[in-house]
Amino acid sequence: MGIKANYLLEKGINFPIEKDRLLGRVIMNLTKHKKIDVVKQMLETALKLYFKGNDYFSVLHIAGACDEVSGKYLKLTGAETIVDSNVKAFKLIKKTLSGIESSNKDACNIFNSAKNSIKHMNDSDDSIIVMDPKDEAEEMLDRALTNMWRLDQPITRLMEKFFQNKYD
């Protein structure tokens, strides 16, 4: 965008129209948005895509972003995220069964591997992914929605439909 909207707003610059000096583009209607509201909107989009049933990679990506932001909100309140809960359980089970301890980072990498595999490419050996996109999208939606529930956010019709389908 050239001129960063957040920077302008933080500095109190609230021009309805500001011209980007380098690219000549116009930035219009800069407004502030609560990130939790952005997460709600993105989750609704992800759920719509999920129920259409033809774009699970996009659902995984969008829900992954929602999981990250809603997880940060939870941590700010001192609450535990669904990933934190899963990491603790994974580490305990692995140590009990194998005697091997895992770091939090290694455990998180396991839980985030599908999300990260579609948004990063390290080299030519990383050009193919193998996964069940629907299953991974469902898992990521579940994580993001559970975080939102833990934040006492209202449950929408699509959220309710997702949980009914998952647990019926």
Q: Is 2 within 8 Å of 25 (Cβ atoms)?
A: yes
Residue type, 130: V
Predicted confidence band at 50 (pLDDT cuts at 50, 70, 90)? very high
- Angle among Cα 76, 81, 85 to the nearest 5 degrees reads 140
DSSP SS3 for 34: coil
Q: What is the pLDDT of residues 55-66, one digit of tens each?
A: 999 999 999 999
For the chain, helix (H) and strand (E) counts, in that order, are 8, 2
The more confident residue out of 53 and 19 is: 53
Look at residue 8 and tell me whether its pLDDT is greater than 90: no
Q: What is the pLDDT of residues 12-39, one digit of tens each?
A: 665 545 555 555 566 566 778 899 999 9
pTM score of the predicted model: 0.79
pLDDT at 4: 59
Residues 84, 89: Cα–Cα separation, whole Å: 9
